[in-house]
Chains A and B, each alone.
Chain A
Amino acid sequence: MLDKNGIAKRIAQELEDGWYVNLGIGIPTLVANYIPDGIDVTFQSENGLLGMGPFPTEDQVDADLINAGKQTITTRPGSVFFDSSTSFGMIRAGKVQLTVLGAMEVDQNGDIANWKIPGKMVKGMGGAMDLVASAENIIVAMMHTNKAGESKLLEKCTLPLTGVNCITKVVTNLALLEVKDGAFVLKERALGVTVDEIKEATAGKLIIEGEIPEMKL
């Protein structure tokens, strides 16, 4: 089974040289720690920055320089700042090659819910609706089940949707799955996890073809 860092590490293997990438809050943020050797990617922060660097040292902290999670950050050489409409312009126009974000639920049609629990939590969608409506390549990083042990990979999302028919891949603590033709297609198992355990934890339609290899991290 993978921990949060393991999920991030596996997603980092999907990165290709030269890509512009937007990482959401939570597990997705950790992907930046595992960029494979020889791969150069540029991170987009939707509040208006391309070329986001690591967190600052104490004396580098600048209140005017934050990421979309409102954390203080630094820039890398070649970075650039822009306003919010330019930022979402590059997102909607598909210039950002990969979006990685967390979710409360995903379903076999590629729908995602991650912004609202009626009556309990209403914090807002931030930029998530723009991101999922636009990117070609969207990977969800999340735990396979919720705290109550219920599957988060469903036949149909039950929470208010963030976007429809948009998720291409899901990486969880148990598996890597592609979302295709109305089903989750199991591609890889996490270390030490059996196909039966993944079946047990997946409520939506699951397709298992041939031998399912273990992830190589």
Chain B
Amino acid sequence: MINKVVANAEEAIEGIESGMTLMLGGFGLCGIPEKCIAALAAKPEIKDLTCISNNAGVDDFGLGFLLKNKQIKKMISSYVGENDEFERQMLSGELEVELTPQGTLAEKCRAGGAGIPAFFTPAGYGTEIAEGKEVREYNGKKYILEESFVSDFSIVKAWKGDTKGNLIFKATARNFNPIMAMAGTITIAEVEELVEAGELDPNEIHTPGIFVHRIFEGKNYEKRIEQRTVRG
């Protein structure tokens, strides 16, 4: 039987090399694989990464760690505000940035993970995003051709997982995690609670374990909040 369970983040990221393309789940800092990001930041010799992630972390958390170490060559994201180091590297030309509409980014992952190499979407038609892309009209509306993504490694964060790699996400920490899990050549899942196969109700699993190759339980999640907003 294949054993998908690894001991920790260090073991989980084995095989990630300079120049690879990674997908990292999360929206803002919500649902990011913080243990694997920290483990990658502890290996600054891994460089020239292309990172596909909706956002780029903040200066002192999440992907901000890898930016600070200059481990990232290219970011593919939909929104990159609130990160000074990111802005500095982008304006100086050290960092290549491909901004992609959020729904297109999501569909590039989902389709890539579903064996569909490209698709037509209306998002970005008539804007600079559409430059150089094929346009087709369906039922009187214009669509542009977008190509899907497959990563060398997808790194996702789930709430619960089992030893077969089945995953359950919590609240809006789900976001890009399930679809990036689908699109990984190798997918790593870090979870808050790892249980034996059979302990999760199959009716409630979000990501089937077939998409997950390595899994481990992370300890002491920080789960930093970007915009703590409370009722007055």
Residues of A within 8 A of B (CB): 45-49, 54-58, 61-67, 69-73, 81-85, 87-88, 91-92, 111, 122-130, 133-134, 160-165
Residues in A with CB closer than 8 Å to B102 are 46, 84, 88, 125-127, 129-130
A63:B223 contact, CB within 8 angstroms? yes
Known contacts A125-B102, A129-B124, A164-B126: A66-B79 contact under CB 8 Å: no
Residues in A neighbouring B206, C-beta threshold 8 A:
83
In the complex, chain B residues 117-146 whose Cβ is within 8 Å of any chain A Cβ? 121-129
Known contacts A61-B230, A65-B171, A133-B122; decide if A126 and B106 are in contact (CB<8 Å).
no
Q: A47-B175, A126-B78 are in contact. List 4 more A-B contacts (CB 8 A).
A: A47-B27, A65-B172, A87-B106, A129-B127
Of A88, A91, A124, which one neighbours B99 at CB under 8 angstroms?
A124
Which residue on chain B has the smallest CB distance to residue A59?
A: B230
What separation, in Å, do the CA atoms of A48 and B176 have in the docked complex?
Answer: 9
17 A/B residue pairs, CB under 8 Å, sorted by A: A47-B27, A47-B172, A48-B172, A55-B229, A56-B229, A56-B231, A61-B230, A62-B171, A63-B29, A63-B30, A64-B159, A70-B28, A72-B225, A83-B178, A84-B106, A84-B175, A88-B103
Set of chain A residues within 8 Å of B101, measured between Cβ atoms: 125, 127-130
Q: How far is the CB of B79 from chain A (nearest CB, A)?
A: 4
- For B, the interface residue count at a CB cutoff of 8 angstroms equals 54
**Complex interface: chain A residues within 8 A of B78 (CB):** 124-127
Given A48-B174, A85-B106, A85-B179 in contact, is the A70-B122 Cβ separation under 8 Å?
no
Q: CB-CB < 8 A to A71: which residues of B?
A: 227-229
Interchain CB contact under 8 A, A133 and B79: no
Closest to B206 in A: A83
Q: Give the distance in Å from the alpha carbon of A91 to the alpha carbon of B54 in the complex.
A: 17
**Distance (whole angstroms) from the CB of B196 to the closest CB of chain A:** 24
* Identity of the chain A residue whose Cβ is nearest the Cβ of B177 in the assembled complex: A83
B227 near A66: Cβ-Cβ < 8 Å:
yes
Which residues of the partner chain B approach A54 to less than 8 Å between Cβ atoms?
231
| A124 and B227 contact, Cβ closer than 8 Å, known pairs A65-B172, A70-B28 | no
Nearest-neighbor residue (CB-CB) of B27 within chain A: A47
